[in-house]
Structure 1
Amino acid sequence: MRLPVSISRRAFLSGAPKALAAISVLEQSLGSSAQQAPHNDARDLTALQSYFDVRSAYSPGELEHLYLGKKSSLYAAPAPGALPGVLFFFWDTATNQLINPYNLKVDSTTVKPGNYTLQSSIYNFHTSSQDATQYWNTGQNNVQLTFTAQAVDEFDEVFQWIVLSGVNIASDSMKGADKQSTLAQQNSLTSFSSPGDNVTIVNGELQLQLGLAVMKKESIWDHIIKAFGTVSDSGLLGLIPMPKLALDTVKAIGTMAAQLSQQHDLIPILKGKLLDFRLYDGSSSNPFLLKPGFWVVMNSTQAAPLMDSNHNIKKDIVLDIPGQQYDVVDTTDPNHPKPIDITYAVTNFKLSQVKSS
């Protein structure tokens, strides 16, 4: 059985064989499991379709509510049962504080105008005690992380880069105070084999999105991710890279992924929409500045109590890079720092300038 979707050839004009291979794997997996009775009802399928909708972006009202705690006529409350969103905070090494992107300003660390490629890596996944008890204490589940970047090319054509990755969760790592999986090596999400597949920014603006879901060990998702490409010496089980996709193709992929997930009990736990960034001033009106370095992506509901009056994360809550665990700890008592009890991921973004030919 093949899913009746139309994959536009336009998505592959730039040459993205890995994307085509990944789509084929998803399509074949859906076809092979079509005879299985779905485990979830139609309402859950709607939730999965929302989770895999990587085209929706935050409205100005949603951003002000999430990042500044404001409510206005522009803000529409989420539907009952909606997944928590995610908040991005930049680790500022000058002030040793996690900074709200609304508060970031151009300085000496900001890239200069030009064309860039983006490299993204994940350094840590940490779960709250509540999520650990619900999903990971039994040792039966891993994590699926969905990373999306969106940009336009020199012809103003919009493309997306989607990477589905699996994070290995050991049951013993979820039972202590610091419930985390550290991925300090072999942790790149965007190491595409062909330079033509790289996330490329030509106009100084970029959209990013991150989602987290629970996937059962030895499930079809687990096997797909491992079969498509394992990562040696890493907490990453593997990656399904889908570079430089046209938007009509993105919609078809979302449909396939949602239906496959309904049949095999993928459970979304965090869902962010596309977040608008600019690389430097003068390039766009996007509200957030993307600085190279470490970013912590947090459960929006759990992060809200940790914000200070300036909407940054409180000064005592720091990213422990010197310890090489890349976990976020509360240092109110500097002699006994303790892990914060929320769900988050630590990522790193590197921007490399593309030299003119």
Structure 2
Amino acid sequence: MFLRNAWYAGAWGHEVEGDKLLPRKLLGDAVVFYRKSDGSAAVLRDRCSHRFAPLSIGRKEGDCVRCMYHGLVFDADGVCVEEPGKSRPSPNLDIRAYPVVERWKLIWVWMGDPALADPDLVPDCHFQDDPAWASIPAYIHYDADYRLILDNLMDFSHLTFVHENTLGGSATIAATRPKIEQTDGGVRITRWYPGEPEIAPYLRGVETFQGPIDRWNIYELQIAGNVFLMDSGSAPAGTGAPEGVRVPQAMQFRATQIVTPEDEHHSHFFWTYAHNFDISNADLTRKLAARLTTGFQEDKDMIEAQQKVIDEYGEDGMGYIFADNGLALFRRLLRARIDAEQGQAPKLAAAG
């Protein structure tokens, strides 16, 4: 079950170039991305209305797409504008066109009621398009339910174990009780690890200072679009980071991780990991992205293994521990939003 009235990340802008037709499935809907002659993005249902041939194996012609089965042509609004052999197309041939906004290097698609598609509701992911920060747009495909990925993002205690030699590196992370807050749009979690003896493994060799650190992860997962935004970093211990002081040596990051369901059992994962130090050093940016990719592959391996067990046995009897408080709250809020959208009574289950 999905929340449909929201902007979802559908593709990175660089994935849709020239005359390319990009097929993708979002929330169970097969869609096709392309660019019009003015460079703006368009998204149509990837299905010709005549015999349901995919438009993504068709041909872009100006602002339109031609189905290469029987030649029908559709414009960016989904209107059939040409039927070979007729002066005007037959009735009832129009297809669905989706509202689109391109912002923060992403092409966002509104998957619900088009009348509710307010561009002002596009999530603020400006750090991945801010010249004061450096990052590389990246993508991972998951063979897993999107909610399992969101669970992973809401419970950083796993960094101690899944990412022992990459993103984690400290037993303190699993033992720390975070501050959990419900926001207007989702859930915010604050985690501080003061006085850690050394920097995390993925930053070794690129650190800007030596010695003990104060480390933080402050992140919010927004229900609309499943957008995860994180302020994280490491500063020399005792220099005031918990009080909001960021000394020049501090290594600061702004992570964006967005989970768009493909269908009930597969997901798209769009991410960047922006840094605001040594931003002209492209090699550093690539090195950080590669190390993060290694960590995210560890998540992917674990979550897809979890999905296989759930596919075989279901979720009945799944236990909960104190580290699940954030993810359980998010699941309740997500389920309530979906139920409200569908006009159903709210569910009372702890984790949706």
Structure 2 length-normalised TM: 0.30
Structure having greater relative contact order (Cα 8 Å, sep ≥ 6): 1
Structure label with greater radius of gyration: 2
Structure 1 length-normalised TM: 0.30
